[in-house]
Amino acid sequence: MANKELQEKVAQYNKLLRQYGHAYYVLDKPVVTDTEYDQMLNELIQIEEQHPELIYPDSPTQRVGGEVLKGFTKVTHQYPMLSLGNAFNEEDLRSFDERVRGSVGNKFSYVCELKIDGLAISLIYENGLFVRGATRGNGTIGEDITENLRTVHAIPLRLTEEVSIEARGECYMPKRSFTNLNKARAAEEEELFANPRNAAAGSLRQLDPKIAASRNLSTFMYAIGGSGESYHLSSHSEALDYLDRLGFQTNHERRSCPSIEEVLTYITEWTEKRELLPYEIDGIVVKVDRYDQQDELGFTAKAPRWAIAYKFAAEEVETVVLDIDLTVGRTGVVTPTAILKPVQVAGSTVQRATLHNEDIIREKDIRIGDAVIIRKAGDIIPEVVSVLFDQRTTDIVAFEMPKNCPVCDSELVRIEGEVAIRCINPKCFAQISEGVAHFVSRNAMNIDGLGERVVEQLLREELIADVADLYALQKETLLELERMGEKSVTNLLAAIEASKSNSLEKLLFGLGIRHVGAKAAKLLAENFETMDAVMTATEEQLIAIDEIGQKMADSIITYFENDEVHDLIARLKGYGVNLTYTGKKVNSADIDSAFSGKVIVLTGKLEQLTRQEAQAKIEELGGKVTGSVSKKTDLVIAGTEAGSKLAKAEQLGIEVWDENRLVNELK
């Protein structure tokens, strides 16, 4: 059993990785380096493997990749687009090689490929014709970007054979295209793209295909979806040659390497030559070549055992800390950021670096005016690695976090057991602004047209003081604001009106109660059904709900003990905002089925149903689907490639079904 310190560490890692993943994959505005993200994720994976009871359903390790963007049709991949395990040094690669040899012996070969720094895509062809293109999305569900991909000349619209196939690869922006694009944006005084990968992702997410066409994107295809054996191929290298013959562009810098020594030689060569390429790469992909040996090696729950991605070491450069900027978030946390003397790192100009919190500043003794080393794994906001103390002058003094909030001047506090310093003034402009932005976000009340700029404008003009005031906004008043025209105001008011009918869980999530995410909000809504019942719930009632623990229960109770919260809820009710759960509520006691009243976990890859379809059908029949295996679990449904959850179920003696048994019971 994991101790409390480890539990808190896992919870913190989950929170940070979700934030980083959202910024990286959804917003295309990364906030940490690849190296930092990967190392934190790998550490979390190791902890979860040793302590399966700490695998939370919303853990970043339980998903591949990130969230689906709004604005494009969702596409469910026939075969999940899995991520690869990472290697950061020679030792990691040799350990991978030892694992491979331990499974398949010594008669095998690797294929090494350049890891293109772009956006993963899936291309579907029927009888040789291109019919659909999609992003990777979260690995299971992506976005349909067919029309944008049609504008990429490297993608054939008709193959050389009338074959039905899925090709997978990377869409990227060549360095020259990136330079030209940023020159044009600078001339128009538009925000510059940070790097070619973000530019490629932004181009493919344009709703106007003409914009994508103007960006001069390209592709390298690197795999066939599903089994290449369906096309009478016996190896990965044969599949790449076949893709070539079909008319796809593959990367011909690949190399067959019969030994790990040759793999290391290939990596050394391209580490030195990468800057000479006309496109960005961020590592090397190493795959066991033969399909039968890939099948023998199999998969973990998250990645194939027959492949690994070697990540180039983060580039480190010297610069100077010009200032330390402080920002206040929705929960009052004050976050420090180093303002740097502009410096080129990995092809882009860097002016900011994350400092995380006061403890990091003290530990590294970072001061304004210091010469520092920063690192960046290719293209995102870096971190300060170390201070060059031999360059520090006597007039550079230690940095002290302020005693008062930089926005509202209220006293800052540090809660025992936390590293964060907080502003606890509920009227702080920064907190209110962030809180309103959260309230109107897609997973909360979903009010289109209320971006950050509009929210701040409404607050500064004193048209709103909290989220309830949004429902009192008038058309005439809004039309007087700068950049608010007739159409935008009409659409905004319609979105606000529509949000009144949202089910209770949307409102609960939007209120921003500490530790209550979207899933917890839905659990509260389903179990209590009304806002009044949630507000008066006791600690015992809250903890009785599976997946709601002591910390969350305490937070919910503390939140609703506040008189200002009661006033806010009353005002929302007065404006006609729905305060009840309108989703489907299943009473398992009224249903006679094999799933009624049981706690069920789905794991592995399902072939006949999607994970979402299976969950919906089980819940319709009175079952409850959760994300982690525990002593409370009654049944585990194990698809192919099931991993640690299946192992834990077997360890605990929990009943396990395969997918065929599930499908038969659902009939």
**Nearest residue to 509 (alpha-carbon basis) of 467, 480, 460:** 467
Total residue length of the chain? 667
Q: Determine if residue 140 is labeled as part of a ligand binding site.
A: no
**Distance of alpha carbon 164 from alpha carbon 169, whole angstroms:** 17
Contact 284, 309 (CB under 8 A): yes
CA distances for 66 relative to 19, 212, 357, 376, angstroms? 10, 22, 25, 21
**Distance of alpha carbon 476 from alpha carbon 458, whole angstroms:** 14
Q: Determine if residue 38 is labeled as part of a ligand binding site.
A: yes
- Identity at 598, one-letter amino acid code: K
- Tell me if residue 605 is catalytic: no
Dihedral over alpha carbons 615, 43, 304, 34 (to 10 degrees): 100
- The CB density around residue 84, as the number of other CB atoms within 10 Å, is 19
Q: Determine if residue 414 is labeled as part of a ligand binding site.
A: no
Under 8 Å CB-to-CB from 104, ≥6 apart: which residues?
Answer: 288, 293, 296, 297
Q: Determine if residue 311 is labeled as part of a ligand binding site.
A: yes
Mark out the alpha helices in 581-634 (DSSP H runs): 611-620
**Distance of alpha carbon 506 from alpha carbon 241, whole angstroms:** 50
Residue 103 tokens, joined: 């499974």
**Distance of alpha carbon 208 from alpha carbon 360, whole angstroms:** 44
Q: Determine if residue 428 is labeled as part of a ligand binding site.
A: yes
4, 74, 115, 175: the catalytic one is 115
Q: Determine if residue 136 is labeled as part of a ligand binding site.
A: yes
**DSSP characters for 298-357?**
-B-SSSBTTEEEEEPPPEEEEEEEEEEEEEE-TT-EEEEEEEEEEEEETTEEEEEEE--S
By three-state DSSP, how is residue 182 classified? helix
Q: Determine if residue 37 is labeled as part of a ligand binding site.
A: yes
Q: Determine if residue 24 is labeled as part of a ligand binding site.
A: no
Q: Determine if residue 79 is labeled as part of a ligand binding site.
A: no
Q: Determine if residue 253 is labeled as part of a ligand binding site.
A: no
- With tokens 């970043």, the residue in question is 60
**Distance of alpha carbon 431 from alpha carbon 330, whole angstroms:** 4
Sign of CA dihedral 290, 292, 294, 297: negative
- The CB density around residue 318, as the number of other CB atoms within 10 Å, is 12
Q: Determine if residue 405 is labeled as part of a ligand binding site.
A: yes
Contact 516, 534 (CB under 8 A): no
By three-state DSSP, how is residue 636 classified? strand
Q: Determine if residue 113 is labeled as part of a ligand binding site.
A: yes
Contact 6, 47 (CB under 8 A): yes
Contact 392, 420 (CB under 8 A): no
- Identity at 578, one-letter amino acid code: N
Find the helix packing angle between 429-439 and 452-460, rounded to 10°.
Answer: 130
Chain-centroid distance of CA 189 in Å reads 30
- The CB density around residue 254, as the number of other CB atoms within 10 Å, is 19
Under 8 Å CB-to-CB from 452, ≥6 apart: which residues?
Answer: 433, 437
The backbone torsions φ and ψ at residue 549, rounded to the nearest 5 degrees and listed phi first, read: -100, -170
- The CB density around residue 387, as the number of other CB atoms within 10 Å, is 18
**Distance of alpha carbon 642 from alpha carbon 293, whole angstroms:** 19
- With tokens 């979260």, the residue in question is 138
Q: Which residues define the annotated binding site for NAD(+)?
A: 34-38, 83-84, 113, 136, 170, 287, 311
Q: Which residues define the annotated binding site for Zn(2+)?
A: 405, 408, 423, 428
Q: Which residues define the annotated binding site?
A: 34-38, 83-84, 113, 136, 170, 287, 311, 405, 408, 423, 428
Catalytic residues: 115
